[in-house]
Amino acid sequence: QRPIFRTRPVVSLLHAGVFFAFVFYGLVNILDLLEGFTGFSTLHRSGVAALYNLIADLLSVAALAGMLGLLIRRFGLRPFRFNQRVLLLPSVRFGISRDSAIVGSFILLHVGSRWIGQAVRVAESGQPDWSQPTASLVATLFHGWSEAALTMASHVTWWLALGLILAFLPYFPYSKHIHLFMAPLNLILREARPLGQLEPPTSSDGTIGAERLEQLRWYQLLDAYACIMCNRCQDVCPAHGTGRALSPAALEINKRYYLNRNLAAFAGGATSPPLLEIATSKEAVWSCTTCAACVRICPVGNRPMLDLIDIRRALVNRGDPLDPNLQSALESLARYGNSFGKPARQRARWAKELPFSIKDARKEPVEYLWFVGDFASFDPRMQENTKTVAQLFQAAGLDFGILYEDERNAGNDVRRVGEEGLFEMLVEQNLAALKKAQFRAIVTTDPHTYNALKNEYPAYGFQVPVYHYTEVLAELLERGILRVQQPLRAAVTYHDPCYLGRYNRITAAPRRIIRALGLELREMPRHGENTYCCGAGGGQIWMDSGGQERPSEQRIREAVALGDDLRYFVVSCPKDMAMYSDAVKTTGYEGRLTVIDVARLVAVAIGIDGVEREAAPVESEAR
């Protein structure tokens, strides 16, 4: 949870004070109850009792300060805002503030009564208690009170503190503070499944995906009750950040408020309204980039992204009309195995322009099977990079080959738009092609492909080591197989692709390359696993974004803020190359910032013929 502390240190500290006090107050309340009805007493100034009193005293202040701070933030600064397009149940609009006020008041009154009660008891003893420093300070306020008044105050505060629990209990299961039980449960019961591997699409009642609450998996319902309504997921969501109708927080909150109001009927087997009426909107569902930022940031382990994918699965399964561009991409994928609508025989056309031939892995054994990917194979803007990668592999003497026309789109994004049938077809076709080849490991240029091969294909019995090309290049450089001839001298920043950095935690290899080349790496505020989505994932690259600002444009501005002398925006994903090449133009930074694939920089530094001339001019020591 370190990144959560990093992103909101003050709020996290306030929340930590309340949380740890809440946990410890479980014991405090039991002991207070015993003290009230038996001769048992914790008022000892040495040993375990003193330690207990000290912890209770300090945590009481932490809880009071934390709760006050959180209430001021909630009602004074009002950070909890959704954009106008987000679907919110009417009960949620009013309910969020009401719940916060009730729970905040309960904690202030409960902890406050107990804390003042302890101060009264210190005053009754006539001596400050070193093990209750803050209560001793408050005790000075009772100086001069009669013994009877102190006894009365002690009784009133005791009854208030414990009586409030009884008053609050019936409300507790409906409040957001049920998360105090549900969140740990959510974290404990969370499956060990990799983030990059989706569950099979069949829901509990045998239908594909989920259109209604009862078709969600049990943990997707638990998510709603574990949610602490902190809005962190919304803050990092690129769709919400660019004004789309999607808020992963609103999705969970809507689910809970609906369930709270209809729990008895729901538990009794009643059919719930469609999720698209009570949880989120269709526009929101199709805005998700499946970047998983919401999943990673959630402090209680919620996975709102999975609900969105399940809704997509259900929509696709029942033939709901799709975005026309997406529809056409899916048709191309079904027909040709690529989203470009190009015949399969054109897949390796780029390789013909190389001064050497690449082995056909279907015909001769190779050590590395290079799964090139659609964008790297077909997009004319990416083909130069693809050829550069081939030249680097060749220069390093790597034994590699490709599948030529038998390679198909690996299906990562097809699965994430909910087209399960097509995904399975692509997997089958790729597995048939892979079966023809002999190789030790796979290397791929595309993080989306990497994710599918590494995390999705094992469910189909395919288990081989999979590497991203940055991992291979980093090792070749470090082992001296690729030698830097002219160290590069320029300030660069590196963008972590979601499916590489966040999903698969490959963040070190590209940075090792950048440093090995002599470049100065400046990190954007959002980097590594905390990266910001380019906006292409989850099928968005095939859809019409509706003319709104793109996440990639926000990202370019984030990079530009790193300094006027920042020259390169380094990428390691063909889709990023496409997205950011467009974004530097639309933001007006073309010429000021150059988007470049990390492989091109390696090629310049090691002096591969032909590439240095073509690559953007990097300031090298040689110049």
Evaluate whether 223 touches 304 at the Cβ level (below 8 Å): yes
Find, among 574, 587, 600, 598, the residue nearest to 381 by Cα: 574
- Show the tokens assigned to 583: 């974004």
Q: Note whether 233 binds ligand SF4 by CB under 6 A.
A: yes
Choose between 230 and 402: whose C-beta lies nearer to ligand SF4: 230
Evaluate whether 433 touches 330 at the Cβ level (below 8 Å): no
Q: Note whether 351 binds ligand SF4 by CB under 6 A.
A: no
Give the DSSP letter string of 513-573.
HHHHTTPEE---SS-GGG----S-TTTGGGS--TTPPPHHHHHHHHHHTT-TTEEEEEE-S
Q: Note whether 237 binds ligand SF4 by CB under 6 A.
A: yes
**Contact string 238-277 vs ligand SF4 (x = CB under 6 A):** xx------x-xx--x-------------------------
Give min distance, CB of 451 to ligand SF4, in A. 14
Q: Note whether 294 binds ligand SF4 by CB under 6 A.
A: yes
Q: Note whether 540 binds ligand SF4 by CB under 6 A.
A: no
The only residue of 121, 232, 256, 347 in contact with ligand SF4, by rule CB under 6 A = 232
Give min distance, CB of 256 to ligand SF4, in A. 9
Give the DSSP letter string of 277-328.
HHT--HHHHTT-----HHHHH-TT---HHHHHHHHHHHHHHTTPPPPHHHHH
Choose between 531 and 620: whose C-beta lies nearer to ligand SF4: 531
The only residue of 87, 213, 305, 376 in contact with ligand SF4, by rule CB under 6 A = 305
The only residue of 300, 452, 556, 571 in contact with ligand SF4, by rule CB under 6 A = 300
Residue range at the interface with ligand SF4 (CB under 6 A); choices 165-173, 202-210, 235-243, 412-420: 235-243
The only residue of 302, 388, 409, 594 in contact with ligand SF4, by rule CB under 6 A = 302
Beta strands 491-494 and 520-521, pairing class: parallel
Residue range at the interface with ligand SF4 (CB under 6 A); choices 26-34, 104-112, 222-230, 591-599: 222-230
* C-alpha–C-alpha distance, residues 66 and 76, integer Å: 15
Three-state DSSP string of 23-83? HHHHHHHHHHHHHHHCCCCCCCCCHHHHHHHHHHHHHHHHHHHHHHHHHHHHHHHCCCCCC
The only residue of 213, 228, 395, 605 in contact with ligand SF4, by rule CB under 6 A = 228
- Residue 174: which H helix or E strand, with range? none
* C-alpha–C-alpha distance, residues 69 and 52, integer Å: 25
Choose between 230 and 437: whose C-beta lies nearer to ligand SF4: 230
Give min distance, CB of 246 to ligand SF4, in A. 6
* C-alpha–C-alpha distance, residues 284 and 293, integer Å: 16
Residue range at the interface with ligand SF4 (CB under 6 A); choices 43-51, 273-281, 295-303, 501-509: 295-303
* Contacts of 580 by beta carbon, 8 Å cutoff, 6+ apart: 495, 534, 552, 555, 556, 569, 571, 595
* C-alpha–C-alpha distance, residues 58 and 21, integer Å: 9
Choose between 298 and 333: whose C-beta lies nearer to ligand SF4: 298
Give min distance, CB of 564 to ligand SF4, in A. 31
Give min distance, CB of 584 to ligand SF4, in A. 22
The only residue of 229, 276, 285, 500 in contact with ligand SF4, by rule CB under 6 A = 229
The only residue of 11, 103, 288, 361 in contact with ligand SF4, by rule CB under 6 A = 288
Give min distance, CB of 416 to ligand SF4, in A. 9
Query: Hey, what amino acid is at 152?
Result: M
Q: Note whether 70 binds ligand SF4 by CB under 6 A.
A: no
Q: Note whether 231 binds ligand SF4 by CB under 6 A.
A: yes
Residue range at the interface with ligand SF4 (CB under 6 A); choices 11-19, 138-146, 294-302, 571-579: 294-302
Q: Note whether 95 binds ligand SF4 by CB under 6 A.
A: no
* Contacts of 50 by beta carbon, 8 Å cutoff, 6+ apart: 44, 130, 131
Q: Note whether 304 binds ligand SF4 by CB under 6 A.
A: yes
- Show the tokens assigned to 77: 């600064």
Phi and psi at 444, nearest 5°, equal -135, 155
Q: Note whether 534 binds ligand SF4 by CB under 6 A.
A: no
Task: Please identify which residue in the block is written with the tokens 């990428």.
Answer: 571
Evaluate whether 313 touches 420 at the Cβ level (below 8 Å): yes
Q: Note whether 293 binds ligand SF4 by CB under 6 A.
A: yes
Find, among 302, 309, 300, the residue nearest to 280 by Cα: 309
* Interface residues toward ligand SF4, by CB under 6 A: 227-233, 236-239, 246, 248-249, 252, 288-294, 297-300, 302, 304-305
